[in-house]
Structure 1
Amino acid sequence: MKKILYGTTALVAVGAFAATGAQAAEPIQVTVGGYFQAAFVFVDYDNDDGRRSRTLQREAELIFGGSTTLDNGLQVGVQVQLEAETCADQIDESFIYLAGNWGRLNIGSENSAAYLMHVASAPPSHWAFGLNSPNISLTGNFPHTSPVSLTSDAEKVTYFTPRFAGFQLGASYAPDACEEGGCGGTFSGSEFDDGSDGSVGDVIEIGVNYTGKWNEIEFAASGSYGTADDESTGDGPEEWSAGVRVGYAGFTIGAGYREFDSVIGDETTDWNVGVRYATGPWGVGIQYAAIEIDPNNGNRSDVQAVEVGGSYDLGPGVVLFGGVQYWEGDYDSASARAGTIADDETWVGFIGTMFSF
């Protein structure tokens, strides 16, 4: 479920159907791009039993993609994202697409329309290290994520309308929550399960967003909804989210919100808010995120975090970034606390760089 923003936002990437490709009626010519990011991380936590206080985090991908325009005006393309390190999901996302003045159709392993069209607060330092749905978790605490993501990169079909008067609608359908023969996402199972094992199927995720500009003020807002069937219980999970972002004179202010109701009655509320300022190669910001998990057994968990950070563009495709995070957790029981390190307080500092190519 990694976000690949290519120096912009997923919102813009979804809204733009035109892309550079080969000449009309020529075969698809595949090019290679990608990124490599690494950061030194230093952690100071109250619950430090058996835990290292420093580490080196890295993450990289090679991205293969290409497109062409047929004689009838139909644009077709392909994208494959290959992890540049050994991991369980070696191929992150892989899909084909068709596009024209009627919209765009994605087929394959890719995030849903609800996820891609979501708007939220901007990360203070770098898109992979913010508090909202980061690519790299620096603490192992409960993840903060405000976009709807019932299926992650599960195999699906997604349609995006053209943008009319600033509005765009997208819808995704996934027969199950399985990805490339293995099962990930929020719910697992195998591709041909009947649902009796607790996995879900017939997942529908819908998103809508608006982008506009008045004088020097840029505005974006989104809303999304997801639902699925659980054949073992006859009832399925539901998830919805909303977000807003406003930009003016180098400042970007945003917020995102999500609610999730599981099959067994667990409820999760997740939200974030932040502001970032950028001028020339410099950027600084602050972000706050909180998550409340209220399971049906009553063992509630609350985790909140703040990040202050910044970035500096050294040149095309090369950025330095760094920041400080503060985490605090409140748990009703030892079982709710298990697997986390935010028992009381956790401080995190990081500094790193990313090369894009």
Structure 2
Amino acid sequence: MKKILFASTALVAVGLVGADAAQAADPIKLSVGGFSRWWVVGAEQSSNYSKGLNAADNTGSHGNAGRINTAGIKGDNEIQFQGSTALDNGLKVGVFVSLEAGGHTDQTTDLIDSSYAWVEGGFGKVFVGTLKNGAALLHVSAPDAASNFSEGGMATGNYTILKPGAVMGMNQRAGYSSSTNTTAIITDNKAEKITYVSPVFGGLTLGATYVPTAISEDNRAQGNARAQAYGVGAGYNRTIGPVGVKLSAGAVQTILSAGETFTQYSGGTQLSYAGFTLGGSYQLARDAIARSGNVNNGTGGFNGGVTGVVDLTKNNPLGNTKFDFGGQAFDVGLQYATGPYAVSFAYFHSETKGAKADTNATYRNHGDDTIDFYQASGKYSLSAGIDLLASVGYAAYESGLYGYAPAGTTKDTLKNDGYYGMTGLSLKF
């Protein structure tokens, strides 16, 4: 991966060195675009989980009856500023900055979702800044008519049915403290990086990424966290007769503290014909054990504690604990679109090893944490860039500890499931 990255960087360097006297025909002027998407959501969740959660925090904050809210307003809004110019030596340079806000929070005060500069020429395109890695940029996954599934989905983002704190999902090892239920490799969470994307050769595009610190985003300090990441990806997009074909494959390795490594592999496929699109994808995460020295039990640490991967500060039966972030996930979906209408059905499943007990024999070899989503979606286009959206579905979360825990409050807080429905309006500008 290093060789691919350094080779691409060298190509850019040669081009820039030979262009020291280059002039831009025009200065960069920014244009404004983006989208606004709002959902009205209704959900019905497990009564046992609701009551158990209320008893566990012992505050009554979820209501005297122990019930969780059944309605909500969720939003996803982004204003994008971008611009570019051409130099008289043929190179193009540009910039992109997006400002994000909405009816949910990503638990950060940084409202800039992504920002990067880029240089493009015959060698391809090089990005420097905060954006997805090369494998994620080229990733293909299951279709959804409302663009409301996998990464970017309200339910799959854990915003409709509550995810129990003891359930671990995919992509939590480095940049994320809570699961984002997607097969795309987004563990670095848009950390600052350099990414190279090749020109298209017969429908094939290649990508490579180097991330100096995978757990940091927009941090000007040098930092002492040893969490470098390297990634490669490939995408294929062609129409063969009446059939559209999209393929993707990628791999990212994160080198963590104490010499630990976390390796992820992904692949995806979409086939389209006569308005139908059938697609699916897969991710495998390996070599992902973090011991209690790196993930402190209940006090924070590296993705640990109350706001971390799992909350072990309440009703913790495990004792001395380590985490195994290894697991796998897949999705599959079918979409049909005709004129202004589109409908789809998709399914997502993940299973991760989760928290492991070093000292408690009862929980030492428990099952995997599992997450499942079933979702049907629809879209009706009112006009260019204006769409009515709807999604209904079922979500289920279960900790691998559930089958081993004794009956009571602890057991009830290890599992939640429920049905949800939402309707929304999407505006693009």
Change (3 A) 1:258 1:155: same
* TM-score (normalised: structure 2): 0.70
TM-score (normalised: structure 1): 0.83
> SS where residue 261 of structure 2 aligns?
coil
Q: 1:224 to 1:271 in 2, by over 3 A?
A: same
The alignment's C-alpha RMSD in Å is 2.4
Query: Which 4+ residue blocks in structure 1 deviate beyond 6 angstroms?
Result: 335-342
CA distance in 1, matches of 2:28, 2:90: 14
Query: More displaced, 243-252 or 86-95?
Result: 86-95
Shift of 1:344: 5.0
Q: Residue 105 in 1 paired to residue 112 in 2? A: no
Cα separation, 2, equivalents of 1:241 and 1:338: 35
2-side partners of 1:179 and 1:303: how far apart? 27
Query: Aligned-pair distance for 1:93?
Result: 0.2
Counting matched residue pairs gives 319
**1:207-256 deviation line (CA, Å, top 9, x unaligned):** 00111111110001110000022232x23111110000001000010001
Residue 302 of structure 1 pairs with residue 319 of structure 2:
no
1:323 and 2:394 matched: no
Q: Whole-Å Cα distance in 1 between the matches of residues 282 and 415 of structure 2?
A: 24
5+ unaligned residues in a row in structure 1: which ranges? 1-22, 183-189
Match of 2:50 in 1: 48
Residue 91 (structure 1) aligned to one of 112, 115, 122? 112
Q: CA deviation at 1:329?
A: 3.2
> Are residues 275 and 355 of structure 1, via their aligned partners in 2, closer, same or farther at CA, if it must alter by over 3 Å?
same
Paired residues for 1:255-274 under 5 Å = 255-261=280-286, 262-264=288-290, 265-274=324-333
Q: Residue 151 of structure 2 aligns to which amino acid in structure 1?
A: S
Superposition deviation, residue 355 in structure 1: 0.8
Measure the CA separation in 2 of the matches of 1:62 and 1:338.
Answer: 43
Deviation string 1:72-124 (CA, Å, 9 cap, x unpaired) is: 11111100001245853310000000112210000111111111100111124
Three-state SS of the structure 1 residue aligned to 2:387 is: strand
Structure 1 53/68 Cα, relative in aligned 2: closer, same or farther at 3 Å? same
Q: 1:168 to 1:328 in 2, by over 3 A?
A: same
Higher fraction of helix? 2
Distance (whole Å) between structure 1 residues aligned to residue 236 and residue 230 of structure 2: 21
Q: CA deviation at 1:338?
A: 8.3
Amino acid of the structure 1 residue aligned with 2:161: T
Q: 1:100 to 1:134 in 2, by over 3 A?
A: same
Please tell me the residue identity of whatever aligns with 1:289: F
Of 187, 190, 196, the match for 1:153? 190
Aligned equivalents of 2:284 and 2:239: distance in 1? 29
Deviations 1:304-339 (A, max 9, x none): 110011000110111100011112233332599989
The 5 A counterparts of 1:141-290 are 141=163, 142=169, 143-177=180-214, 178-181=216-219, 191-195=222-226, 200-201=227-228, 203-232=229-258, 234-261=259-286, 262-264=288-290, 265-290=324-349
More strand by share: 1
Structure 1 SS opposite 2:136: helix
Contact 2:326 2:352 in 1 (8 A): yes
